[in-house]
Amino acid sequence: MGNTTNVGLPLDRAVGAGSALADDPAVREQLSNLQSLLVLSMLMVESGDVPQLLELAATSVRSLVPGRMDGVYLSDEGEWCLPAGPCSTDPGRREVEAQLVALGAGGGQITVPPDGWAWAYPLRSLEGPFGYLVAGADVAPSAAEQFLLRVLAQQMGIALANTRAHARERATAAELRGANAVLAHAVATLEQTTAIHDRLTRVAMTGEGQEGIARALHELTGYSVAVEDRYGNLRAWAGPARPDPYPKDDPSSREQLLGRLAEEGPSLRHGGRLLALARPAIDVLGVLVLIDPTGTAGEVAHVALEHGAVVLAVELARLQSMAETEVRVGRDLVEELLTGMDEERAQERAQALGYDLGRPHRVAVVRCQPPEKSSDVFFHAVRRVSRDAGIGELLVSRGRAVVVLAHTDTDWEQFRLAVAGELGRTMCQVGVGGSCGRPADFPRSYGEAVLAMKVQDIAGNSEQATSFDDLGVYRILANVQDTAGIDRFVREWLGALLDYDAHRGGELVLTLCRFLDSGRHHETAARALNVHRSTLKYRLRRIREVSGHDLGVPETAFNLQLATRSWQTLRALTLAD
């Protein structure tokens, strides 16, 4: 068999035919176009950019044939790319889309007015057809030109499919990176949350208390931490820059803040602080505070704060339960001591509580004006101050007052101010009885404390602390068993003034008391009586006229002052508890 070409021609004849074709201008132009398509195909595949790829295709259509690209329709997405001519309007695109549906995946000739000729070339990938390249011209291109358009559509389909596949891969990779980042963040947060939970659980298990909770939260977050009771009083602090004095809201603002926190919780920013309630049930027992004036606390700090608030709630509930048991048992003992009980039995009861009743004591009576709406609030305020000052742990509520068995002397005025501060008010008074050397002395010390407070009331000094030991002549008068002699002495010196006040509704005796107690200083006495100085002078003139006594005589003034204090003592002794 001789050498032949693939079309069955002898080799010499095929070579001759090839030379003849090469000399044909149409063939040379077609080969040049095919070479351009090859280069264009390489550019499309390497482009990776859909808009650039489409621009290349549109430019190629115009250079290959005397026509234009009317657009590329991606049927799998229902979108047009680079629509031109009739396809640039919605009606034109809808009309073409209807024809493409009728054509099917193979494409074919379509009508796109006013073009004389239009053809839809299918775009294919390995997964199948996904769109069309729509080309149009005034007249139908030659067969060779249409062949070039088919090749262009084929290469464009491959390039578009590759570009879209790469885009999907990049998107998938980006989603995967994002998912990995989210997962890594979640794992880190979980690890941090676990560490927070473990640290705070250790605090609770080892009984480190409120101080340990504050310290652990400070170590976990780096922020200073405060533990407050429901009233805003500081109970524990960890971290630098502890304020002194610690700032405290007024009661109304505090209640509003707690209400917001209960409604909007579990944590809430209030100024430069993050707060979380320690509330094991309905009642708020405390507030955990993270000091964050710059507002930089993030998610981990919030998680730590909220975990800490849960642990604090458990701790405060435990302390409250213990305190309630201790208070209940202590109340029973105090009541029996104040009413008088057998000394041996008292010592046994105290020993069972682990309390040393053999120390010297004195009874203090605390009263709030006006009376606190909640007796428990008042009681626990006095109890906290007594405990913090180291005065005593045995207390009981009696009527409008709280009685403290104090085993340590203190500055009772500072004690009174501390109780008033706990309650957010200053109208508070304290009466302190004499020393008790044994349990049988408690009823006497209690009576003395009550008397000291009554003397305050009668003397108009209802906002102070008064010790029975400091009552002076009042103390002597109060210990007189038979008061009939005192009453006769009072009538001798003040009888006319008392009768005048009783019949006229006057205040001459009270005016005389204030004037003599002030050292006969007119300005001080007028201020104590809350009257003008001229009014005081008028009343003093009436006192001289009604009583017949001259206050300028030292002996007379002495007897009148003793009589006024005796009168006040008698009134205090007869006042109901």
Span 64-86, pLDDT tens digits: 788 888 889 998 888 999 888 88
Burial class (CB in 10 A: 0-12, 13-18, 19+), 205: exposed
Q: Are 544 and 534 in contact (CB under 8 A)?
A: no
Express each pLDDT in 117-150 by its tens digit.
Answer: 999 999 988 888 889 999 988 888 888 888 888 8
Confidence class for position 15, pLDDT limits 50, 70, 90: very low
Give me the pLDDT at residue 362, please.
Answer: 92
d(C-alpha 54, C-alpha 84), whole Å:
12
**Residue 220 Cα to chain centre, angstroms:** 18
Residue 399 has pLDDT above 70, yes or no: yes
Confidence class for position 326, pLDDT limits 50, 70, 90: low
206-241: buried (b, 16+ CB within 10 Å) or exposed (e) per residue?
eebbbebbbbbbbebbebbbbbbbbbbbbbbbbbee
Average pLDDT over residues 203-214: 85
DSSP conformation class of 88: G
Average model confidence (pLDDT) for the chain? 81
Residue 202 has pLDDT above 70, yes or no: yes
Question: Which residue has better confidence, 48 or 577?
Answer: 48
Residue 17 has pLDDT above 80, yes or no: no
Confidence class for position 5, pLDDT limits 50, 70, 90: very low
Average pLDDT over residues 416-439: 84
Give me the pLDDT at residue 276, please.
Answer: 92
Residue 426 has pLDDT above 70, yes or no: no
Average pLDDT over residues 250-263: 87
- Grouping H, G, I as helix, E, B as strand and the rest as coil, residue 571 is helix
Beta-ladder partners of 364: 404, 432
Highest mean pLDDT among 41-50, 199-208, 219-228, 320-329 belongs to 219-228
Contacts of residues 420-427 at CB distance under 8 Å and 24 or more positions apart, as own/partner, are 420/368, 422/231, 422/233, 422/381, 422/384, 422/385, 423/368, 423/372, 423/377, 423/378, 423/381, 424/231, 424/250, 424/251, 425/368, 426/463, 427/368, 427/369, 427/370, 427/462, 427/463
Residue 558 has pLDDT above 60, yes or no: yes
Average pLDDT over residues 299-321: 84
Note the helical H segments in 206-250.
209-221
Average pLDDT over residues 17-44: 61
d(C-alpha 2, C-alpha 368), whole Å:
130
What string of H, E and C letters represents the secondary structure of 360-409?
CEEEEEEEECCCCCCHHHHHHHHHHHHHHHCCCCEEEEECCEEEEEECCC
Identify which of 503, 510, 576 has the alpha carbon closest to the alpha carbon of residue 543. Answer: 510
- List all residues 6 or more positions away from 475 whose beta carbon is below 8 Å from its beta carbon: 468, 469
Q: Rounded to the nearest 5 degrees, what angle is found at the Cα of 418, between the Cα atoms of 217 and 223? A: 15
Residue 543 has pLDDT above 80, yes or no: yes
d(C-alpha 276, C-alpha 238), whole Å:
16
d(C-alpha 363, C-alpha 434), whole Å:
7
Q: How many CB atoms are closer than 10 A to CB 295?
A: 9
Q: By percentage, how much of the chain surpasses pLDDT 70? A: 85
Name the region of 505 (left: φ>0; alpha: ψ -120 to 50; beta: rest). Answer: left
Query: 543 is written with which tokens?
Result: 């006192």
- Domains and their CATH numbers in the chain: 23-168 (3.30.450.40), 207-320 (3.30.450.40), 340-471 (3.30.70.270), 478-574 (1.10.10.2840)
DSSP conformation class of 460: T
Residue 379 has pLDDT above 60, yes or no: yes
d(C-alpha 476, C-alpha 484), whole Å:
15
Confidence class for position 460, pLDDT limits 50, 70, 90: low
DSSP conformation class of 265: -
**Structure-token match 């630098």, residue found:** 240
Residue 3 has pLDDT above 50, yes or no: no
Burial class (CB in 10 A: 0-12, 13-18, 19+), 289: buried
Residue count (the chain): 577
Residue 304 has pLDDT above 90, yes or no: no
Question: Which residue has better confidence, 344 or 572?
Answer: 344
Identify which of 553, 567, 376, 575 has the alpha carbon closest to the alpha carbon of residue 486. Answer: 567
Express each pLDDT in 467-526 by its tens digit.
Answer: 887 776 666 666 655 667 777 877 888 888 888 888 888 888 888 888 887 888 888 888
d(C-alpha 23, C-alpha 448), whole Å:
138
Q: How many CB atoms are closer than 10 A to CB 298?
A: 9
Residue 9 has pLDDT above 60, yes or no: no
Handedness of CA 19, 25, 26, 31 (dihedral sign): positive
Average pLDDT over residues 217-226: 92
- Residue 104's φ and ψ, nearest 5 degrees, are 90, -165
Give me the pLDDT at residue 547, please.
Answer: 84
First vs last Cα of the chain: how many Å apart? 142
Question: Which residue has better confidence, 236 or 145?
Answer: 236
- Grouping H, G, I as helix, E, B as strand and the rest as coil, residue 544 is helix
Residue 288 has pLDDT above 90, yes or no: yes
Confidence class for position 7, pLDDT limits 50, 70, 90: very low
Confidence class for position 11, pLDDT limits 50, 70, 90: very low
